[in-house]
Amino acid sequence: MNSTDNSPELSGIGELPAGRPPQTDFTDGLDYPRLGSVTFRRGTLTDNQEATFAEHWPRLGKVLDDELIDVDSWFGRSGHPTILEIGSGTGTSTAAMAPVEADTNVIAVELYKPGLAKLLGAVVRGNIDNVRMVRGDGIEVLARMIPEKSLDGVRIFFPDPWPKARHHKRRIIQSGPLRLIATRLKPGGVLHVATDHADYAEWIDELVQVEDLLEFRGWPWEDAPLLTDRQVITKFEGKGLDKDHTINEYLWQRTDAPNP
């Protein structure tokens, strides 16, 4: 895997450049979602959020680049399990779960700054010490910033279902991301996915056995080695429940097989 472009020079705290971002060139023949152009609305943070971002982001946040994350250094402790949450949104469940699993390092990945600003505010107000944030696309963060066999868990809660058929190729649950996630998980590590979109659930059902490095554990799994109770209803989950949507959850465990 090689990045097709160098990381662009960034300006401003936590800012990403607009336009088409650099994307990793995967050569394993599997299916990966590809980003289109990315645009960001300006002026979406309140003055207080801007002040909080300026003060705390340099310590608690990173922007997508090609430097592997040193978890022990970033969290200021060693020997603790680490979970990557892809698409943390506004961080409602992230901030609620973190105190329940204070022994675990949680890295929340989100592309949009307003969501990260809300999570950052909750972390600061709640004096939550075990959450860090990365601004960027989850696939790129996995490929370019996360060492192999370094994660105890990956969470993907209510990913964008891309409901139109022509957009299905943008869905994050595909053969390529499942392989990438598997390589970043330690043997025994857990992937936890939740969706309330019926068509997306059918899509995932077809992929539960596609990755040899991931053993499908179904749902629920009482012996899961990490927290699988999401503690609170997320914003997107609440909308789904209001429409009588069924919540489908999936758990996989990284096998002991060597990387192919």
Torsion sign across C-alpha atoms 160, 96, 218, 241: negative
Measure the CA–CA gap between 236 and 225, rounded to whole angstroms.
26
Q: Is 129 annotated as a binding residue?
A: no
Q: Is 234 annotated as a binding residue?
A: yes
Q: Is 118 annotated as a binding residue?
A: no
Measure the CA–CA gap between 156 and 158, rounded to whole angstroms.
7
Q: Is 235 annotated as a binding residue?
A: yes
Q: Is 160 annotated as a binding residue?
A: yes
CB atoms within 10 A of CB 194: 23
Q: From the candidates 70, 72, 103, 160, which is the catalytic residue? A: 160
Closest of 135, 142, 108 to residue 1, by C-alpha: 142
The answer to whether 176 and 143 are in contact (CB under 8 A) is: no
Q: Is 205 annotated as a binding residue?
A: no
Instruction: Respond yes or no: is residue 160 known to be catalytic.
Output: yes
Q: Is 40 annotated as a binding residue?
A: no
Measure the CA–CA gap between 125 and 104, rounded to whole angstroms.
19
Alpha helix (H) residue ranges in the chain? 47-60, 71-75, 92-97, 113-125, 138-145, 175-184, 198-205, 235-242
Q: Is 137 annotated as a binding residue?
A: yes
Q: Is 169 annotated as a binding residue?
A: no
Closest of 70, 62, 67, 41 to residue 120, by C-alpha: 62
Measure the CA–CA gap between 140 and 160, rounded to whole angstroms.
16
Q: Is 243 annotated as a binding residue?
A: no
User: Hunting for tokens 């936590």 — which residue is that?
Assistant: 14
E strands, the chain, where?
2-3, 24-25, 61-63, 82-86, 105-110, 131-135, 151-157, 185-195, 214-218, 248-254
Binding residues for substrate: 164, 196, 234-237
- Binding positions for S-adenosyl-L-methionine: 85, 110, 137, 160
The residues annotated as belonging to the active site are: 160
User: What residues form the annotated binding site?
Assistant: 85, 110, 137, 160, 164, 196, 234-237
